């Protein structure tokens, strides 16, 4: 776990909350998570990749969490903001290890690009 923590801190510059139950991105940062049900989230991820946008995405039980900057617009239905602590791999949530769907490589994108992709997918449904 030590190497994972070093990667988050050294490569991404993320401050971490390390507890007995896992590693978390703390609240109070400029990074939040847009929590989307897994079925819709998969379609949104396809749309984001089509648009060639890089978004760190976490898989937790029944949901995916898209890491973005704080949203300043109204969110679509069934999208919630997680402001922390946000579980990072290899933390377990409900007995399931959190995993990266799309691992972070640099800064998180503005929430608007993810919200736009969510709305686009919802309109197509």
> Could you read off the pLDDT of 9-23 as tens digits, one per residue?
888 888 889 899 999
0.75 exceeded by pTM = yes
Which pLDDT does position 27 carry in this prediction? 85
Average pLDDT over residues 62-69: 96
Q: Which residues contact 5 (CB under 8 A, 6 or more apart)?
A: 16, 18, 23
Kindly indicate the confidence band of residue 1, based on its pLDDT and cuts at 50, 70 and 90. Answer: low
Number of domains observed in the structure of the chain: 1
Range of the domain at 34: 2-124
pLDDT in tens, 73-122: 999 988 999 998 999 999 999 999 999 999 998 789 999 999 999 999 99
Spatial distance between the Cα atoms of 100 and 49, rounded to a whole number of angstroms: 15
């Amino acid at each position: 776990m030590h190497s994972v923590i070093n990667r988050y801190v050294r490569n991404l510059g993320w401050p971490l909350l390390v507890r007995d139950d896992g590693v978390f991105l703390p609240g109070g940062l400029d990074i939040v998570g847009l929590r989307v049900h897994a079925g819709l989230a998969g379609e949104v991820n396809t749309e984001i990749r089509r648009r060639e946008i890089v978004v760190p995405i976490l898989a937790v039980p029944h949901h995916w969490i898209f890491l973005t900057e704080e949203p300043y617009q109204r969110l679509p239905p069934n999208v919630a903001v997680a402001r922390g602590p946000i579980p990072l791999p290899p933390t377990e949530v409900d007995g399931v290890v959190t995993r990266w769907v799309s691992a972070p490589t640099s800064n998180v994108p503005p929430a608007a690009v993810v919200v736009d992709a969510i709305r686009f997918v919802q309109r197509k449904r």
